[in-house]
Homo-oligomer: A and B are copies of this chain.
Amino acid sequence: MGKVLVFGHKNPDTDSITSSLVIANLERKLGNNDVEACRLGNVNKETEYVLNYLKLEAPTLINDVEDGTEVILVDHNSPEETVSNINNAKILKIVDHHRLCGLVTDTPLYFRAEPVGCTGTIMYKLYKENGIEIDKKIATLMVSAIISDTLLFKSPTCTELDKKVGIELSRIAEIDLEKYGMEMLKAGTDLSSFSIDEILNLDAKETLLKSVKTVINQVNTASIPEVMKMKDDLERGMNKIINEKGLDLFVLLITDIVNSNSQVIALGKNADLVEKSYGVKLEDNTALLKGVVSRKKQVIPIMTENA
């Protein structure tokens, strides 16, 4: 029997990367030594900040798994967001905080999902339930995921439990939540090394809003004007993707993590869906969505309702 591979979703964010490391460590503590933390894509700048802070290597990059491989999924349960041959793998466990996405397995498995803001919060509970001590490094990984997914507790996806666990973990991690958190989030807003195409794919999710074929991409920033300098180039790239994928709508959310607003750029024949959903007028394809920071809670459901 080969190694058990652990991984989060494609286009991995901080929760996907850290939760892979955190559950691989838990498995080892529970006696399963042949476990390897992996990832299905590049480490982003925010996650890089966390790994550098802890002097940790990134998990192993994989694109696929061999048929029959035993796997543990974290931070996702969607067939679209995992390895393409997931049906030929044996899923041992899933730990996640997303809606159910239609996965089918041949055999019973361990599935732990909770409606909280971050997989890191569930990981904390798993350590507690199994009586495994959370050391400084593991605590830092967990709290970084919570900071990332909840934008330092400011996102509407953040639950009371995420906040309580985040504060408790910050003590074990010996970090100043505000200082470490803002530095980490700001590290993630550095777009300097990315091409326009890369920016447009950083956190892009393809989704059907009823029958409207849509891509929603979200980019965090500490300064909306800084990103808007690239507006013409971004729009050219978005139109290219609209044509290639036959999209009805491309929504780019440029989210100000300091003031908790998003500037939206919307292109495609259904761009008016943004106007209808938020009572705004797109001027030159763009508008400010005040207080909107969560694609999951404040964008997808509202735009689906109006589609």
What are the interface flags for A84-110 relative to B under an 8 Å C-beta threshold, 1 for contact and 0 otherwise? 000000000000011111111111111
List A203-257 residues whose CB lies under 8 Å from chain B: none
* A53 is an interface residue with CB less than 8 A from chain B: no
Checking B98, B99, B110, B115 against A115 with a beta-carbon cut-off of 8 angstroms, the contacting residue is: B110
Residue of B nearest to A300 (CB): B106
Q: Tell me how far the C-beta of A115 lies from the nearest C-beta in chain B, rounded to whole angstroms.
A: 4
Q: Tell me how far the C-beta of A130 lies from the nearest C-beta in chain B, rounded to whole angstroms.
A: 11
Total interface residues in chain A, CB < 8 Å: 22
Number of copies: 2
Give the complex CA separation of A116 and B129 in angstroms: 18
Give the complex CA separation of A100 and B113 in angstroms: 13
Give the complex CA separation of A113 and B110 in angstroms: 5
Q: Tell me how far the C-beta of A73 lies from the nearest C-beta in chain B, rounded to whole angstroms.
A: 11
Residue of B nearest to A112 (CB): B112
Give the complex CA separation of A98 and B105 in angstroms: 9
Checking B99, B102, B106 against A102 with a beta-carbon cut-off of 8 angstroms, the contacting residue is: B102
Contact present for A111 and B111 (CB under 8 Å):
yes
Checking B105, B112, B129 against A111 with a beta-carbon cut-off of 8 angstroms, the contacting residue is: B112
* A197 is an interface residue with CB less than 8 A from chain B: no
Which residues of B lie under 8 Å from residue A107 when comparing CB positions? 99, 115
Contact present for B108 and A97 (CB under 8 Å):
yes
7 closest cross-chain pairs (CB), A and B: A111-B113, A108-B115, A100-B105, A102-B104, A99-B105, A102-B102, A100-B103
